Structure 1
Amino acid sequence: MKDEILCNFWRCYLQKSKQAYCKRPAGETVKALSVCESSTDVDSDPERPSLLHLLSLSESEGALQTDCSFASSVSKVSENTSVCSGSVDGSLYLVKNQKEKLRMTMPMTLSFCYMALLWVREPITLSELLRFVVEGHIPYLNVFEHFPENMRLCGLDLKIFCVESWPVYEEVFNKMHELAAFLDLPRFPDITESCFLHPDMLCMKYLMEANLPDELHNWTCRVVKKTGIGEVDFLTLMPGNKSTRKVKYDVLAAAVIIVVLKLLFLLDDHYEWLLSGIAEERNKNNTEEMVVNLQNQFGKLSGSVQRAEKPNPSSFQLSWSEENTDGSCFHGHSLKGILQEKHGLLTAMNPDYWLCTVKLCNEKLCGHLAHYREVEFPQSYHFVLGLFSFLLRIQPSYIHDEVCMIEHKLFNKKLSKKMKYNRVLRK
């Protein structure tokens, strides 16, 4: 909360929800307001400072406005209220009111953090932020145990700050977008090609994370450019704009890699057998057996070496040493075995591609662009989907949605021709 951007977001939230930084009739009791009430009432207040002004306030300037804050309501509490009963409005936060979608919760605190990180374009994705929570680098479960003595909680406040489950990606992501719209935030700083959250940059990170050859990055960049998902207007958050799609930057990058793997390897459970046969012929002169190579790789994944102390937070979960000569690192490996030169360009030897879905669903009505059922797809595709699902700690269906979206952008012209052709046949 000491960060200037995050702190000013927090002040805006308190003001918008009329919990602080607003004028209140002297005898009015503390109450929770719905999103609709707060958005109309606060906007009509002529003495309310603008959001952009709040974002530019320093810590000292912001502190001067607290005379009309939540503390003024606390002083109105009757004298017979016990100090150990908790905060004045603690009971209101425990009431399940459907209108109060943006009341403060522990997952909401992470939405605030992610919103601030996105505003300053820090090189941290939402999946990484949540992983730092699970790994204990960010206090979350029983967070009140980390509070100083003068902030000791009691009564109903303990239930507010006591959670029994880890945060869910979708909940934190959706709440962040609701929060940004509720605060009337302007367009976020542009996500350009030099930004860490750009798919070209994130694809490079996840290719290293998944121990895939460097040459795949040329193909991911081609897919990003061809589909237009690297454009600034597509990537930059515009709060409250319902016409633009909410971008999950880490999920989008993983989906791009999967589409490239389908372009090159098909992932249909059959083409890989053909490629493995070709590889076997080429590796006949190699003295090491495949079994030893696999043992080396799974030995790394199993983490047999126990660390003496808790590791520092890292952007990478898996480490593949390029200096290692045992063949377990594929970063420097070539794709020449599955590529062919055609008109001066390297193209895939495999000319086929299968779509995950021919027609996308209405995401607003259905909740998903497509439906993912493991039994309906090849195991090779499911394996790759599961790998990135494990790395990002999200459901495979969310990555599958992004894969389907990219495929339809990539093959849009061919799909349009096919649909027109089918209509003619029906007639």
Structure 2
Amino acid sequence: MDEQLTGGYSEPCGQCAAVDWGVSDEGQFFCRSCHNVIEKTREVEDVTTLHSINSRISQITKPKKKRDEGGREWIICEGFQFILNHQAKALVSLGVCMKFETEVLWNFWKIYLQNTQQAFTKNPVYTPRFTVFMKSQSDEEVNSPSQQSNHTEVASDMSEEMSVSGYSSEVQSSVLSKGSSDVGAYPKTKGGKERNKFMSMPRTLALCYLALLWIREAITLADLLRLVSEGRIPYVNIHEAFPEEMRLFGKDVRFFNVRYIPSYSLVHKEAVALAQIMKLPSFPTISQDCLLHPLPLTVRYLLEANLPDDLHIWVHKVIRQASMGDSSFLTFDPSKEKPHLVCYDIQAVAVIIVALKLLFKLDDHEEWKLSEEAGKKKKRVFKLKKWFDVVQPVLEKARKREEQEEARRKWGTTKPFITTLKRKCLTLKKRRVAEHLEQKFQKFTDSAPEESSSLNSHTSFRFSWGNEEGSDGPSIFNNHLDCTFKKDGIKYLSNRKYWHLNLKACPPNKCGDHFSEMEPRLPRMYVWVLDLFSFILGVSQTEVHKEVLNVERCFLKRNYEPKVQWTFASCKKKKKTVEKKTHVNEEHINDGE
């Protein structure tokens, strides 16, 4: 028993009769043996009343915060602004330019608040008791990021930039300890246009992604979610960093309690929705000098997957044939009726997969035959069998390591949410019991909790290929491709036919994805390649396969004439894998040699 905290209190516990007292963060005494909480609190001398020797206070907090237990009136958008501020600072510390935080993201946030009438307007729609005003600009000046770039006044802390004034006399001090003041004004339904205007935790990442895309940073959406998963961008339990005066309580759990890291498709969808809500103009052009362009981006994933550099020549041909390198196709324009935001990273790996199918077919037969023939010619020729033997064990090892890191992830929070005053005591008691059991188990195992290796060192690549010490395996990047032959003066591909599924797209919003139904009948080598790139990006195989079909629709637009069409009625039934074969040579892909 710590005599300094308990002051020599030696009364036995009323439940277990033990004399083993501790003091919680709230100043309440509790039994370390049975975790029973008693009414006694820690006594601390009040230094402000020196004239009275016997004057005592019954709480640890400062006297000036005693009225509202350290809380103040705050609104929900202030909480999300605090989170965006921390996420922006984390990205800047990772190497993103300062313009991202000081101009683009802050301006996007102001436009969002004004267009949804949550702030920077005379009559906030969800906070009728407040008048939210802006210090430096009028409402009419906040129109577009281009207009604000020349007239931006950025404070040292984004949380200090928003001012709330005009408190109503109806708001009493009892509200101050019950979380955000405007949580009751938000609709409870999950659907509807009004609900779509609300900010959420996944939308904070979507807003950061839009700001990164605006300044054309070389951080893809998959990279952003990976940084979140590694804890380098605050997201999980970010409410623990809230200042003391912003107390979370009750219904605030709907907005700030994070139970999972959002998926790629969810954040991508929210980014498009936010761009439409903010009515943003066309984004800066994605040209070949931008690292989000498929030409430089595919080089990165060729290195990541340990594929030969010569494959990029064929990747370039696929991009040119599919007209996917045009700036009009790649640049995001939210002002269109149906805006399309390209999944730059998934599209890049899909182009690589199409090039692999073009050269090696990936039908569980042709690729191994070509690999055996290449093995008889030269030592430095790329052999797909050797590539599989090198990458497969490394992939399995990396997947197991990722599963272990995910199992060690702590989703619990040191500051639990208090949903009701009745459950406050029970919630705090459960937290103390959990911490006590964790300490006991650590003593039994005689080991401290292991830190995740991803937090110690960070790299943009999941694998490291080469002959250096610590590499995952030998590099095949410098191997040569031998996948063509000449006949009658015409250069043909060693793989004469290209197979693909039925490219007839299903009706939107009427038919779901069919990859789970088709996967057992697809070639195993093709499925393994999907699995490899889906692990590299941290997305599902379904999303990669869907983008492969989109690339094939663009690539085969001149030669593809569907003979079997899927109607909406046939989509409801179990599909058959429709395989088509197209004769290919270098004339079909505009070689120009």
Query: TM-score under structure 2 normalisation?
Result: 0.60
Q: Which aligned pairs between 1:260-299 and structure 2 lie closer than 5 A?
A: 260-282=355-377, 294=389, 298=393
Larger Rg: 2
Q: 1:172, 1:296 → 2: CA distance?
A: 30
- Answering whether residue 148 of structure 2 is matched by residue 49 of structure 1, we say no
1:15 corresponds to which of 108, 114, 117: 114
Q: Which aligned pairs between 1:121-270 and structure 2 lie closer than 5 A?
A: 121-243=216-338, 245-270=340-365
Alpha-carbon distance change, 76 to 117 in structure 1, aligned in 2, over 3 angstroms: farther
Q: Is the 8 A contact 2:310 2:481 kept in 1?
A: yes
Structure 2: state its 5+ residue gaps.
Answer: 1-84, 89-100, 131-137, 402-450, 565-593
- Answering whether residue 532 of structure 2 is matched by residue 387 of structure 1, we say yes
Structure 1: state its 5+ residue gaps.
Answer: 32-45, 420-427
- Answering whether residue 525 of structure 2 is matched by residue 398 of structure 1, we say no
2:480 corresponds to which of 334, 343, 357: 334
Cα offset, 1:26, TM superposition: 12
Q: 1:326, 1:181 → 2: CA distance?
A: 44
- The aligned residue for residue 359 of structure 1 is 504
Q: Is the 8 A contact 1:372 1:400 kept in 2?
A: no
Alpha-carbon distance change, 11 to 295 in structure 1, aligned in 2, over 3 angstroms: closer
2:181 corresponds to which of 88, 91, 114: 88
Q: 1:408, 1:236 → 2: CA distance?
A: 20
SS for the counterpart of 2:558 is helix
- The aligned residue for residue 98 of structure 2 is none
Q: 1:26, 1:165 → 2: CA distance?
A: 30
Query: TM-score under structure 1 normalisation?
Result: 0.81
Cα deviation digits, residues 94-117 of structure 1 (max 9, x gap): 723412113111101001100100
Which stretch of the first structure deviates more once superposed, 395-404 or 164-173? Answer: 395-404
Q: 1:302, 1:181 → 2: CA distance?
A: 42
Amino acid at match of 1:221: H
CA RMSD of aligned residues (A): 3.9
Q: Is the 8 A contact 1:77 1:88 kept in 2?
A: no
Alpha-carbon distance change, 342 to 109 in structure 1, aligned in 2, over 3 angstroms: farther
Cα offset, 1:355, TM superposition: 1.2
- The aligned residue for residue 153 of structure 2 is 59
Higher relative contact order (CA 8 A, sep 6+): 1
Q: 2:369, 2:126 → 1: CA distance?
A: 79
Amino acid at match of 1:406: V
Q: Is the 8 A contact 1:362 1:369 kept in 2?
A: no
Cα offset, 1:125, TM superposition: 0.3
Q: 2:285, 2:126 → 1: CA distance?
A: 46
Q: Is the 8 A contact 1:264 1:350 kept in 2?
A: yes
Q: 2:124, 2:366 → 1: CA distance?
A: 73
Cα deviation digits, residues 299-354 of structure 1 (max 9, x gap): 58626999878334322111112658997211111112x23357988652111001
Q: 2:391, 2:317 → 1: CA distance?
A: 33
Q: 2:347, 2:307 → 1: CA distance?
A: 17
Alpha-carbon distance change, 308 to 413 in structure 1, aligned in 2, over 3 angstroms: closer
